[in-house]
Amino acid sequence: MEGSIVESIVFWVMGIIATLGYPGVFFLMAAESALIPIPSEIIMPFSGFLVSEGRFNFWAVVLAGTVGNLFGSWLAYALGWWAHDKIARRLVKRFGKFILLTEEEYDKAVGLFSRNGQLFVAISRVLPAVRTVISLPAGVARLQFLKFSLFTVVGCFIWSAFLTYLGFLLGENWQVVRPYFRKFDIVILAAIIILVGAYLFHKLGSRKLSAKKT
């Protein structure tokens, strides 16, 4: 079932790009950065394959992918900015106790991201999985928009150029890159789970220690 869904997405992406050309690349990469699960690991390598066929220009593809990512990131950033007080804080108030997260700790986390978020954005833009969702917390933390956009452009340009070049080198075999990036996603997800587990362990331990002292 999962395989058929993935294959359907692949053929849909290929059809969009083959039909619309560069605007199709822009549209799909914008959707990916706007939190819609359309993997750039399909979009850009296939476009790179079309470059190897002489149907596309390499730098035009990279530009379309980068600008598309930037536009989609702006949408996710705007959602995070708007949701800061209206949704995120409300969710923390209602459900934070289930993950041992208080409103005060939420404010500290947002403050930390506000101070160091530019670095997080720059690094995450070239990481599978994380790169598509980083714009939302950046908006919640209300990072400086111009710096956010600059780091987004730099990171997305590197990512788009890298994937396009892989597709160009691999030609008709461009799809072989997908399983490798899937492994990266699993590693990153495992790291996130470990960090969340460590956080919960630390919180439970701190609360038990406080309870003993009282």
Query: pLDDT tens per residue, the chain (214 residues)?
Result: 444 566 677 788 888 998 999 999 999 999 988 878 788 888 899 899 999 989 999 999 999 999 999 999 999 889 888 876 666 667 667 766 655 556 676 666 566 566 666 666 766 666 665 667 778 778 877 888 888 898 889 888 998 999 999 889 887 776 666 655 555 455 445 554 555 555 555 555 555 555 555 5
Return the number of other C-beta atoms located less than 10 Å from residue 203's C-beta: 15
Identify the DSSP state of 144. -
Entry pTM: 0.70
| pLDDT score recorded for residue 32 | 87
DSSP symbols for 98-153: GGT--HHHHHHHHHHHHHHHHHHHHHHTTSTTGGGTTHHHHHHTT--HHHHHHHHH
Q: Identify the pLDDT of residue 148.
A: 86
The Cβ of residue 145 has, within 10 Å, a number of other Cβ atoms equal to 14
**CA–CA dist 195, 46 (Å, integer):** 34
d(CA 38, CA 20): 16
Q: Which of 158, 173, 86 is nearest to 121 (CA)?
A: 158
Whose tokens are 């072989």? That residue is 176
Nearest Cα to Cα of residue 64 among 49, 43, 37: 43
Distance CA(133)–CA(34), nearest Å, equals: 8
Q: Read off the DSSP letter of residue 126.
A: T
pLDDT score recorded for residue 91? 66
Q: Two tokens at 120? A: 């997080």
Task: Please report the pLDDT score of residue 2 as a whole number.
Answer: 44
For the beta carbon of residue 61, count every other beta carbon within 10 angstroms.
28
Q: Which two three-digit tokens encode residue 174?
A: 């461009």
Residue in 182, 193, 128 with CA at minimum distance from that of residue 3: 182
* Spatial distance between the Cα atoms of 161 and 129, rounded to a whole number of angstroms: 18
Q: Give the C-alpha separation, 167 to 164, whole Å.
A: 5
Angle at CA of residue 47, ends 44 and 50, nearest 5°: 155
